[in-house]
Amino acid sequence: MIVVLAGPAGVGKGSIVSGLLSSRSDFVLSVSATTREPRESETDGVQYYFVSEEQFDRMIEDRQMLEWAWVFGLNRYGTPKKPVDKLQAAGKTVILEIDLDGARQIRKTAPDAVQIFIAPPSFDELEQRLRGRGTETEEQLSARLETAKEELRSQNEFDQVFINDELDKTTQEVLDYILRRKEENERSTGNR
């Protein structure tokens, strides 16, 4: 099963994913490829595969991407297809932490994927969280906030929206929802 987790930058998707991964050994996060520069705390192959523009071009040409998008108009990010196929074949629940554009592509290529949107309690709160994180320049911050406005308008395209007002509670709600969808899925495949 594929689970798409979308929502604006700074909303806490990363923390929710960490919580999901630590409570379920059958959940795996797909590692994306990106042309963005690594942050100080990041390691190649862990948070992302950090690739050059040319490598990213080649991955697209070779049809190695399940989806890919320009994010914040600054860099490209994409989901390598092969690892997702392998993990799915091994019975894992594969989480894709991707942007709105990517989520829309997955809706076409993997219509059975569970589509979840994580929303902030308010736009002001999102801005405060992003600023508090201190990982972006002012230019990057305004690009992320502009994109966030568009993403927030798209919420109703998703199967389910969770407002991340309290991390532990939201993580539990997301987990319960995924498990419910998995159960429904298994029941309907079993009935076929």
Binding site for ligand 5GP (CB under 6 A): 9, 32, 36, 67, 69, 71, 77-79, 97-99, 101-102
Q: Smallest distance, Å, CB 165 to ligand 5GP?
A: 19
User: Comparing C-alpha atoms, which of 48, 74, 47 is closest to residue 59?
Assistant: 48
Run of H or E residues at 71: strand 65-71
3 state SS of 127: helix
- Whichever of 38 and 185 has its CB closer to ligand 5GP, that residue is 38
Q: Smallest distance, Å, CB 105 to ligand 5GP?
A: 7
DSSP state of 92: -
Dist CA 98 CA 92 (whole Å): 18
Which residue number is nearest to ligand 5GP in terms of Cβ?
A: 102
- Whichever of 81 and 182 has its CB closer to ligand 5GP, that residue is 81
- Whichever of 41 and 156 has its CB closer to ligand 5GP, that residue is 41
Q: Smallest distance, Å, CB 65 to ligand 5GP?
A: 8
User: Comparing C-alpha atoms, which of 106, 104, 83, 69 is closest to residue 28?
Assistant: 83
Q: Smallest distance, Å, CB 8 to ligand 5GP?
A: 7
Dist CA 108 CA 158 (whole Å): 13
- Whichever of 99 and 145 has its CB closer to ligand 5GP, that residue is 99
